[in-house]
């Protein structure tokens, strides 16, 4: 949960000695009080990833935290160690758009979790290529826009971009949104579009993954939350979950069972994004929790 006056700092870099002491020393030296530190060195590739949450108050007495000052000081640390870093003021909530088509279970899930105070973001707008789910947006008091895909991909995505910009959207989430996005769109929103695929990637890419799974006779089915890229169902994976199925179940039952997995994967992928827990390196994620 976002706490007033707290910040989250993410750092990734080539592994080297002294990193944690340098980073935490700079925070302490600027009057920050570390609340939580998660860190991982991926020895297979020699990379260091770190996420630190700290409070601007309650640190060393005498030191008063200033975001501007900290950034200046930390930039020097970053230069020394060639860090890739970001700092987030946790009081500023991310603005998340939900794109839907006709299926409601992922939309309901994000709205219910959000209403329950369980997702730390704003959801200012819902966009669809179909009118079917407008009533859900209405009952949650969120503006609903229907965009017409028949006007051609370019015009359609121009409309989409217009709405996303109007609402200052940080993250686009595809809640079983059945419309392929263009390479241009994916590049413009790179690493800021989370899609849910109703199959356990990299198996069962493309259309009708539950039909594929049933036909193959797999004993476990799943869903995958990933960043959308130009290459369909190939983007970096953020979260996955599975459920055991029986050969006594029909394709129809696979689809029904899959819904619970999909909605969970959808929200858990978004939650990790909002927690700044996702590090990207060479086409895969490192989710550090």
Catalytic positions, written as ranges = 233
CA distance 167 to 174: 16
98: contact with its own copies by CB under 8 A? no
Q: Report the nearest approach of its own copies to the CB of residue 275 (Å).
A: 13
**Exposure on the CB side of residue 91, measured as CA atoms within 13 A:** 6
- In three-state secondary structure terms, 110 is helix
20: contact with its own copies by CB under 8 A? yes
> Can you state the percent helix, strand and coil of the chain, rounding each to 5?
35, 30, 35
Identify which range of 40-48, 86-94, 144-152, 190-198 contacts its own copies by CB under 8 A: 40-48
- In three-state secondary structure terms, 173 is strand
Select 11 or 147, whichever has its Cβ closest to its own copies.
11
Q: Report the nearest approach of its own copies to the CB of residue 86 (Å).
A: 18
Which member of 68, 79, 116, 165 binds its own copies (CB under 8 A)? 116
43: contact with its own copies by CB under 8 A? yes
Select 56 or 172, whichever has its Cβ closest to its own copies.
56
**Nearest of 127, 190, 192, 176 to residue 156 by alpha carbon:** 127
- Specify whether the CB–CB gap between 268 and 225 falls below 8 A: yes
Select 26 or 99, whichever has its Cβ closest to its own copies.
26
Write a three-state SS string for 225-283: EEECCCCCCCCCEEEEEEEECCCCCCHHHHHHHHHHHHHHHHHHHHHHHHCCCEEEECC
Q: Report the nearest approach of its own copies to the CB of residue 6 (Å).
A: 13
Which member of 2, 13, 40, 188 binds its own copies (CB under 8 A)? 40
Q: Report the nearest approach of its own copies to the CB of residue 33 (Å).
A: 4
- In three-state secondary structure terms, 132 is coil
CA distance 28 to 64: 10
142: contact with its own copies by CB under 8 A? no
Distances in Å between the alpha carbon of 189 and those of 8, 57, 170, 183?
Answer: 22, 35, 9, 10
Which member of 2, 28, 77, 275 binds its own copies (CB under 8 A)? 28
Which member of 87, 112, 163, 178 binds its own copies (CB under 8 A)? 112
Q: Are strands 237-244 and 220-227 parallel, antiparallel or unpaired?
A: antiparallel
Write the interaction track for its own copies spanning residues 224-263; mark x where CB under 8 A is met and - where it is not: ------------xx-xxxx---xxx-xx----x--xx---
58: contact with its own copies by CB under 8 A? yes
Residues between 176 and 215 with contacts to its own copies, criterion CB under 8 A: 200-204, 214-215
CA distance 256 to 104: 13
> Site residues (CB under 8 A) for its own copies?
17-22, 24-25, 27-29, 33-37, 39-44, 55, 58-60, 104-105, 108, 112, 116, 118, 139, 200-204, 214-220, 222, 236-237, 239-242, 246-248, 250-251, 256, 259-260, 264, 283-289
């Amino acid at each position: 949960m976002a706490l007033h006056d707290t910040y989250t700092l993410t750092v990734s870099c080539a592994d080297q000695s002294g990193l944690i002491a340098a980073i935490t020393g700079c925070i302490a030296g600027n009057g920050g009080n570390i609340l939580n530190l998660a860190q991982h060195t991926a020895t297979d590739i020699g990379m260091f990833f770190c996420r630190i949450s700290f409070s601007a108050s309650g640190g060393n007495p005498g030191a008063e935290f200033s975001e501007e000052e900290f950034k200046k000081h930390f930039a020097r640390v970053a230069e020394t160690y060639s860090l890739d870093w970001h700092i987030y003021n946790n009081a500023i909530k991310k603005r998340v758009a939900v794109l839907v088509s006709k299926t409601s279970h992922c939309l309901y899930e994000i709205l219910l979790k959000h209403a329950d105070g369980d997702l730390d973001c704003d959801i200012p707008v819902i966009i669809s290529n179909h009118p079917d789910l407008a009533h859900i947006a209405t009952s949650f008091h969120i503006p609903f826009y229907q965009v017409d895909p028949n006007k051609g991909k370019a015009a359609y995505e121009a409309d989409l971009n217009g709405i996303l910009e109007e609402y200052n959207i940080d993250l686009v989430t595809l809640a079983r949104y059945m419309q392929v996005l263009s390479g241009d769109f994916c590049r413009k929103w790179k690493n800021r579009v989370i899609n849910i695929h109703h199959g356990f990637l990299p198996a069962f890419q493309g259309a009708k993954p539950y039909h594929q799974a049933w036909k193959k006779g797999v004993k476990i089915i799943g869903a995958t939350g990933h960043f959308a890229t130009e290459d369909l169902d190939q983007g970096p994976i953020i979260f996955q979950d599975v459920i055991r199925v029986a050969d006594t179940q029909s394709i129809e039952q696979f689809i029904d069972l899959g819904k619970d997995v999909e909605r969970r994967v959808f929200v858990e992928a978004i939650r990790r994004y909002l927690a700044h827990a996702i590090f990207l390196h060479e086409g895969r994620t490192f989710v550090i929790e």
